[in-house]
Amino acid sequence: ARFIAFAVDGAAPALILLNAHFEPLSITVPAASGVARWRMEIDTTEANGAAKGALAPGETYEVPARALLMMLGEGGPETASER
């Protein structure tokens, strides 16, 4: 499969998924410190590129074939090191 995924940590955590394969690929949404859910922002399989919905860490998601997705991390409980 031709697939890459990476998370960018910072003030606004982001998750980028790129599936260059001709078939969809199932992934498990990763956990990240301070992220309770990943909100979909960009989906290149949509006509306008906008995405809808959110996924919780640990959920399974099928990344469409030949797609680029970007998700932003949203609120979660603080960890002891962040207080």
CA distance 12 to 74: 8
Predicted TM-score of the model (pTM) = 0.83
Q: What are phi and psi of 49, to 5 degrees?
A: 80, -5
CA distance 67 to 82: 34
**Model confidence at 78: pLDDT above 80:** no
pLDDT for 1-51, tens place per residue?
799 999 998 788 999 999 999 999 999 999 998 899 999 999 999 988 888
| Residue of higher predicted confidence among 81 and 39 | 39
Q: How many CB atoms lie within 10 A of CB 61?
A: 17
CA distance 21 to 16: 16
